[in-house]
Structure 1
Amino acid sequence: MPMKKLSLIDPPGAEGVHHKLPPEAQSDLSVDFICAEVSDKPAERALIKSLLTGNLTPDPRAVEYRCAIFEDVYRFPGLCERVQELLDKIDFLRSYGSFLKENEEASSLWELIHRLNEIGDYIVCIEELYDCLCGEELRSEGLCLLRDYVREIYEDSGFAHLKKDIAALKQDTERIRSVTLGVNLNERYEPNGVGIISVNSRSFQKTGIISNFCDFLGREDDIQDSLEVKPGAAIRAVKDENKLNRKKVLKPLIPTLPEDPESGDLMNVLDRVVSHMLAGTTKKLKRMLSEHVEISSYVITSLIPQFMFYVRFAAYIRKCRSQGFAFCRPQVSGEGARDMQAEGLYNLKLIKGASEGEGPASIVPNDLDFCAQHRLYILTGANRGGKTTLTQAVGIAFLLAQNGIFVPAQSFRFSPADNIFTHFPADENKTMDLGRLGEEAKRFRELYTQAGAHSLILLNESFSSTSFEEGFYIAYDVVKSLKLLGARTIYNTHMHKLAQQVDELNGTVESDSQAASLMMGDQSGSRSYKVHVAPPEGRSYAQDIARKYGVTFEQLTGRA
Structure 2
Amino acid sequence: MLTESGSFSILFPRPEEVRCRELPETVWHDLGLDVIVEKLAHQPQEVQLIRRVMTHLTDDPAVSAWRCDVFADILNHPEIRERMMKLLEQVKTFYDYGIVNRGTGDESGLWDLMHRLEEYRSYVITIEALHECLADQDLVSEGLRNLYGSIDRIYRENGFAALKKDVEEMHSSASELKSVTVGINLNDRFEAVSLGLISVNRKPFTQSGILKNFIRSVSPKDQLQPEADWDGRTSFYPANPQAGFLAGAGRAVETAAVLRNPVAAMTLARVPDADGTAGVTRQMDSAASMLASRIVRRLKDLLGKYLNISVKAIADLIPELVYYTRWAEYIEKRRAEGWIFCKPEVLPAEAGGAGMQAEGFYNLKLISALRPGQVTPNTLGFDREKRIYILTGANRGGKTTITQAAGQLFLLAQGGIFVPAERFSFSPADLVLTHFPADEDQTMDLGRLGEECRRFREIYGLCSGHSLLLLNETFSTTSFEEGYFIAVDAVKAMLERGCRVIYNTHMHKLAADLDSINSPRCPSRAVSLVAETVEGQNSFRVRIAPPEGKSFARSIAEKYGVTYESLTALQP
TM superposition score normalised by structure 2:
0.78
Alignment of 1:343-492 (within 5 A): 343-354=359-370, 359-492=371-504
8 Å CA contact 1:106–1:278 kept in 2: the answer is no
Moved more, 413-422 or 141-150: 141-150
Query: Is residue 2:354 matched to residue 1:338?
Result: yes
Q: 2:414 is matched by which residue type in structure 1?
A: Q
Distance 1:98 1:442, change over 3 A: closer
Identify the residue that residue 529 of structure 2 maps to in structure 1: 518
> Do the aligned partners of residues 132 and 548 (structure 1) sit closer, same or farther apart at CA in structure 2, a change above 3 Å counting?
farther
Residues 431-484 of structure 1 deviation map (CA, whole Å, 9 limit, x = unaligned): 121111111111111111111111001111111111111111111111111111
Contact 1:93/1:122 (CA < 8 Å) preserved in 2?
no
**What value does the CA root-mean-square deviation take over the aligned residues?**
3.3
**Gaps in structure 1 of 5+ consecutive residues:** 180-198, 205-238, 246-254
Per the alignment, residue 46 of structure 2 pairs with: 44
Which residue does 1:221 correspond to in 2? none
8 A contact 1:8–1:142 mirrored in 2: yes
- Deviation per CA, 1:341-379: give whole Å up to 9, x if none: 11001111101111xxxx101000001011123211111
Out of 317, 320, 323, the position equivalent to 1:309 is: 323
Cα distance change, pair 5–111 in 1 and its aligned pair in 2 (3 A): closer
Alignment of 1:89-100 (within 5 A): 89-98=90-99
CA contact (8 A) 1:496 1:540 kept: no
Please name the residue that 1:230 is paired with.
none
1:257 has 2:230 as partner? yes
Between the two proteins, what is the percent identity of the paired residues?
44
Letter in 1 for 2:545: A
Q: Which has the larger radius of gyration?
A: 1
Number of the residue aligned with 1:134? 135
* Alignment deviations for residues 293-334 of structure 1 (CA, whole Å, 9 cap, x no partner): x2xx22221121111000000100110011110100110112
| Paired residue secondary structure (1:530) | strand
Residues 115/511 of structure 1: CA separation in 2 closer, same or farther (3 Å cut): same
C-alpha distance 288-540 of structure 1, shift in aligned 2 (>3 A): farther
Name the CA shift for 1:165/1:406 in 2 (closer, same or farther; >3 Å). same
Distance of aligned partners of 1:504 and 1:510 in 2 relative to their CA distance in 1, 3 Å threshold: same
Tell me which amino acid in the other structure corresponds to 2:136: G
Q: CA deviation at 1:20?
A: 1.3
Moved more, 147-156 or 263-272: 263-272
Paired residue for 2:17, among 15, 24, 39? 15
Q: How many pairs were matched up? A: 488
- Residue 233 of structure 1 aligns with which residue? none
- 1:99–1:175 distance in 2 versus 1, CA, 3 Å: farther
Query: Structure 1 residues 94, 523: closer, same or farther in 2, change over 3 A?
Result: same
- 1:76-115 mapped onto 2 (5 Å cutoff): 76-98=77-99, 104=106, 107-108=109-110
Distance 1:94 1:285, change over 3 A: farther
**Alignment partner, residue 339 of structure 2:** 325
Secondary structure of the residue aligned to 2:495 is helix
Asked if the contact 1:496–1:539 (Cα under 8 Å) also holds between the matched residues in 2, the reply is: no
2:293 is aligned with 1:299: no
Structure 1 pair 285–464 and aligned structure 2 pair: CA distance change class (3 A)? same
Question: How far off its partner does 1:258 sit?
Answer: 5.8
Alignment of 1:533-548 (within 5 A): 533-539=544-550
Query: Partner letter of residue 154 of structure 1?
Result: Y
Q: Give the secondary structure class of the aligned counterpart of 1:458.
A: strand
Which residue number in structure 2 is paired with residue 226 of structure 1? none
Amino acid at match of 2:48: A
The ranges of structure 1 where at least 4 consecutive aligned residues each deviate by more than 4 angstroms after the TM superposition are: 99-103, 110-118, 175-179, 199-204, 239-242, 260-270, 540-550
Q: 1:542 to 1:304 in 2, by over 3 A?
A: same
TM-score, normalised with respect to structure 1: 0.79
| Per-residue deviation, 1:542 | 7.0
